[in-house]
A and B are shown apart, each in its own frame.
Chain A
Amino acid sequence: MAEEAILGYLAKNQEIADSGEFAAQHGLNHDDVVNVVKSLHGFRYVDAQDIKRETWVLTDEGKTYAASGSPEVQLFLAIPPEGIPLEELQKKLDPLLFKIGRAQAAKNKWVEMGKQLVSRKVQHVDDTVKDLLLQIEGGKVINQDDIKVLKGRKLIATQTWNGYSVRKGPEYAPQRKKFAADLTREMLQSGEWKNLEFKEYNFNAKGQPIEGGHLHPLNKVRHQLRMIFLQMGFEEMPTDRFVESSFWNFDALFQPQQHPARDSHDTFYMKVPAITKELPEDYVERVKRVHESGGYGSRGYEYDWNRDEAIKNLLRTHTTAISTRMLYLLAQKPFTPKRYFSIDRVFRNEAVDRTHLAEFHQIEGLICDKGLTLGDLIGVLHDFFSRLGMSKLRFKPAYNPYTEPSMEIFSYHEGFGKWVEVGNSGMFRPEMLLPMGLPEDVRVIAWGLSLERPTMILYGINNIRDLFGHKVDLGLIKTNPICRLGVD
């Protein structure tokens, strides 16, 4: 209503000089007019200039008198023509009203305040105060003397009136354009979209969160590592065998039976099923011999090897138990070179802390071929780790019962500003490979690392329980970025 009136008026006229007058002329509420002007000004349909005016309005007291008459008139009318004792008159009126009325009536010389009676001095009075108040309430202008009187009696007060003068704005149009919030099917069907302009989207607000499925961070990293191994021509080993015998986990790896890793402090042994029923006996015999008295150029460990120790079942402490089985199978056929890898769970009966759990994932890669050298191992490690973003490597001599030489792999971490250990590697000992039946000139180079540690470094996670296990926050899984290992 107001909008049509304003835009319509401006189509024919230069200016709306005063929004207040305009509202009165067109029978509109001035507040509505003000709101529309503000909105049109915002969209630059009109230019609006502020107008400020002081007007008089009735105070609460003034409003009462405008309705019920001034106190002096009320007092006058309460006096009967024959007069009335003061106490009687006082009782008929409100005390405040009486007080004001008596003073004003006396000032106007309307009443006689006698000793006995209060009586009228004049027969008739006009309530000019009430009339003036009604005029002000009606927006009429009254003369300054009257204003002074009413203001003195605190029956009126000033109020600032805000209005506008309005002219056409740069975007003036006789009718406001509609902005669509979204494109709908109806708009497309009706063709209405042609006339539509779209409301400017608030790009500072957040978009709507997207619901969907998510993969676990550790499995995302695991998948990228599988891809890297496959790209490097490595074949995945079947590692779905958590319960293993000590034989395949330790003895076959030339790990002596008194080795600390075989302590119950480090390894989970099985109560049920406690022992392994089946081992390749001729191979077991060769393993026993190499432990006890060596052979294949070795002195052996010179102790009494105990079969009862070897058949004890355990939860595998490393996936190398599987690698050993795979190499043994390989040795039973005419030799072919192999590159194997696996990434799967291993178990350690160790104290748990921020970086250690009783179970974690081991990444393992190995190459089995004739004529492999330590240089080949260093070469493949550079290839593998540079795909993980670690191109600066160095190697430290280390000890491992089944590899010789053994090399700890260190990578320079730019963020930490230091060299950090990222894995272990080495050449499998002849005492491990030759009893399997592999040809003498076959060497196996291998390396291993945990999946959790590089993942924690990659995603900046400090506590392993925030990454793995039931205490992981589902929110973390949902907001975790894609893994770009092997991509960049």
Chain B
Amino acid sequence: MPTISVGRDRLFAAIGKTYTREEFEGLCFRFGIELDDVSTEKAIIRKEKHLEEEEDGDDEEVLYKIEVPANRYDLLCLEGIAQALRIFNGLQEMPTYKVVNISRKSMIKMHVKPETSSIRPYVLCAVLRGIKFDEVTYNSFIDLQDKLHQNICRRRTLVAIGTHDLDTLHGPFTYEALPPSSINFVPLKQEKNFRADELMGFYKSDLKLKKFLHIIENSPVFPVIYDYKRTVLSLPPIINGAHSAITLKTKNVFIECTATDLTKAKIVLNTVVTTFSEYCERKFEIEPVEVIYSDGKSVVYPDLSFYNMEVPLSYITGAIGVPLEADEVTSLLNRMQLCAKQSVSGDCNSNITVSVPPTRNDVLHPCDVMEDVAIAYGYNNIKDITIAKGYNVSKGRAVSLKPLRLEEFSHLIRLEMAMCGFTEVLSFILCSLNDNFAMLNHEGDSSNAVIIENPRSSENETARTSLMPGILKTIGQNKAHPKPIKIFEVGDIVLLDESTDVGATNRRQLAALYCGATAGYEIIHGLVERIMLVIGLVPPDDNTTFYLKPSDDPEFVMGTQASIIYKGKRIGTSGIVHPEVLNKFDIPDPCAYFELSIQCFF
């Protein structure tokens, strides 16, 4: 979930109401955002106690960190949150965003060269006229672009935003893709001219920008935007030119979004222009830009059209479980920034016509509308109506359930092991290849293990193929525990398996270890027999069911180890743990161990 930082007083001024911290938390909770942190809490306490003294001259700004839902790009800045809460509180009507009606001829134009299709095919533009920035709104404007870049733009891979002082530029503009060596400009925050390929090298050491270099680095051509006078506006998605940088004095802002994903680019452009059109001379009006492709096709952006949805009232009330009239539903929706009207269809079933504004791209389906009704109604107002009824699955029919044999059987085995005086441990599935193989004297033998491609640490290279590494690590960590130590684990291992759809399969295993003054293999032997007995198999007089057969596994001492054979198949291993293995796991005391697959018993 994205978190944004806003000045509390500024936010309250924008909402048009002052809250105590608890009141504001309550409002956030109802609306579905979260007050995550208050960065200068001391100041708040002081203010609450000495309200008069603080009226003027406290330079300590109280910051609210607010967590917003990952699909609400319109809430990624103060302006968006304030507007949403104003409307939610009924303090404001929904604004109507307008694209200024100008002729195609007088529109600013962006010409797209065909070479861009190989690297970053889309560009979308718009203009905000007569904007008035102050320091706070300017910073908010920059922060919003940052937040969009981090979230919906997927760190600029899908979309990158460039904003420019239009009065420093001369249209029409061109969006091109050129060999890096032929692009020269002074980038933002620099004074000297760079060639694009040199610039990439220069930014290798830039903490912020180096993360984005990979997006175009290996391409023979770099995307670049020029104005009519060949001034570089930007080298997307890396950096803007210094020439057209916006400042506090900028009046007319040219916004370009370059993208590999058109849908997301539209959302990003719409989010930036709608949010900041509030500061335009003509509030909520945005000037369009015509984007012209080399084949003559042209599109005018931004597209601020509403998306219309017909939602049956019965769907909304049926899913929420609260009887609501159509007019109640429409007014609830209006509080969530969705324009809603009751449309009477021929029969008695009334429909709600919902117009989704360009700021609410999260609304994909009537279920999103239904959720907004529920939020505006109040999730916590729903329970009183339906709690007594309870959940109505199966409508009173008796249900007869089957147990899950794997889990029930495992549970019984675990109880049996504990009854034998063994203590259960729970170790990790993830481990290193070294733990799983070399540490057990199985160097270079990882043929049956799955391998993780992107582990953060060596501890997460593979999923265990036996319970042994986890159990031995537990003993290594519990050296001071009084002897004898008797532990067991029932858990899954993962093995490669060609016969399954994904190519791997889980196997449920049982393992136990005895550690004392002597290895005590006879105890482990007895335990194997005990488990076989309680499973219902007679001890090894009858070789047709199960028996122990001498083995030569490298993790055990030769001569004191045996495979566990069931119905002619090897289902497990047992033996005195090899001193080299003990040494690798830093275990000073002798141990005996067994492990078997219990998968074959159910």
Contact = CB atoms under 8 A, between A and B. Distances in A.
Given A213-B422, A273-B504, A374 B404 contact: no
Nearest to B25: A419
A12 B375 CA distance: 99
Given A367-B393, A369-B392, A404-B371, A215 B418 contact: yes
Contacts of A376: 321, 386, 389-393
Given A243-B502, A258-B261, A213 B375 contact: no
Given A301-B263, A303-B263, A240 B426 contact: no
Nearest to A421: B34
B248 interface: no
Contacts of B71: 399, 401
Contacts of B341: none
Contacts of A347: 429-430
Contacts of B389: 375-376, 379
Interface stretch (A61-69, A100-108, A262-270): A262-270
Contacts of B428: 357-359, 468-470
Interface in B492-536: 492, 494, 496, 501-506, 508
Interface residues of B, number: 101
Contact of A299 (B365, B418, B473): B365
B453 A242 contact: no
B4 interface: no
B207 interface: no
A303 B261 contact: yes
A187 to B, nearest CB: 30
A380 interface: yes
Given A268-B452, A279-B501, A369-B394, A397 B375 contact: yes
A474 B375 contact: no
Contacts of B399: 233, 339
Given A303-B261, A395-B380, A474 B474 contact: yes
B379 interface: yes
A244 interface: yes
A470 B470 contact: yes
B524 to A, nearest CB: 15
Contact of A278 (B158, B320, B430, B501): B501
Interface stretch (A77-85, A152-160, A425-433): A425-433
Interface residues of A, number: 100
Contacts of A399: 1, 32, 69-72, 362
Contacts, number: 293
A383 B423 contact: no
Interface in B426-480: 426-430, 449-456, 459-460, 463, 470, 473-474, 476-478
B31 interface: yes
Interface stretch (A16-24, A119-127, A199-207, A216-224): A216-224
Contacts of A315: 452, 463
Given A367-B393, A429-B365, A269 B478 contact: no
A371 B318 contact: yes
Nearest to A237: B404
Contacts of B72: 399
A240 B454 CA distance: 23
A118 to B, nearest CB: 80
**Interface hub of A230, A279, A299, A475 (most chain B Cβ within 10 A):** A299
A486 interface: no
A102 B575 CA distance: 91
B50 interface: no
Interface in A235-270: 235-238, 240-245, 258, 260, 264, 268-270
Given A213-B486, A313-B503, A396-B32, A339 B404 contact: no
B78 interface: no
Contacts of A470: 425, 427-428, 470, 473-474, 476-477
Given A219-B414, A279-B501, A406 B371 contact: yes
B371 A378 contact: no
A176 interface: no
If over half of B's interface residues share one DSSP class (helix, strand or loop), that class is named, otherwise mixed; here it is: mixed
Interface string B395-435: 00001011110110001001101111111111111100000
B102 interface: no
B322 interface: yes
Contact of A243 (B374, B430, B450): B450
**Interface hub of B151, B391, B415 (most chain A Cβ within 10 A):** B391
B471 to A, nearest CB: 8
**Interface hub of A235, A245, A296 (most chain B Cβ within 10 A):** A235
Contacts of A275: 503
Interface in A386-410: 394-399, 401, 404-407
A443 B502 CA distance: 29
A60 B151 CA distance: 99
Contacts of B411: 223
A405 B382 CA distance: 13
A212 B379 contact: no
A19 B368 CA distance: 102
Contact of B380 (A242, A394, A405): A394
A241 B394 CA distance: 29
Given A236-B404, A359-B429, A470-B425, A367 B474 contact: no
B154 interface: yes
Nearest to A376: B391
Contact of A405 (B370, B394, B421): B370
A472 B475 CA distance: 10
Contacts of A350: 456
Contacts of B424: 213-216, 219, 477
Contacts of A313: 502-504
A194 interface: no
Interface in A459-485: 468-475, 477-478
A45 B154 CA distance: 93
B427 A299 contact: no
A474 B485 contact: yes
A344 to B, nearest CB: 9
Contacts of B364: 294, 298-301, 431
29 contacts: A213-B486, A219-B426, A223-B411, A238-B406, A240-B508, A264-B453, A273-B504, A298-B365, A302-B263, A349-B460, A358-B456, A359-B428, A373-B321, A375-B386, A376-B390, A378-B387, A379-B391, A396-B34, A397-B375, A399-B32, A404-B371, A405-B370, A429-B365, A431-B364, A468-B428, A469-B428, A470-B428, A470-B470, A474-B485
Given A358-B456, A374-B382, A469-B427, 5 more contacts: A242-B506, A260-B70, A294-B365, A345-B492, A399-B72
Interface of B: 1, 29-32, 34, 69-72, 151, 154, 158, 261-264, 307, 318-322, 362, 364-368, 370-371, 374-375, 379-380, 382-383, 385-387, 389-394, 399, 401-404, 406-407, 411, 414-415, 417-430, 449-456, 459-460, 463, 470, 473-474, 476-478, 481, 485-487, 492, 494, 496, 501-506, 508
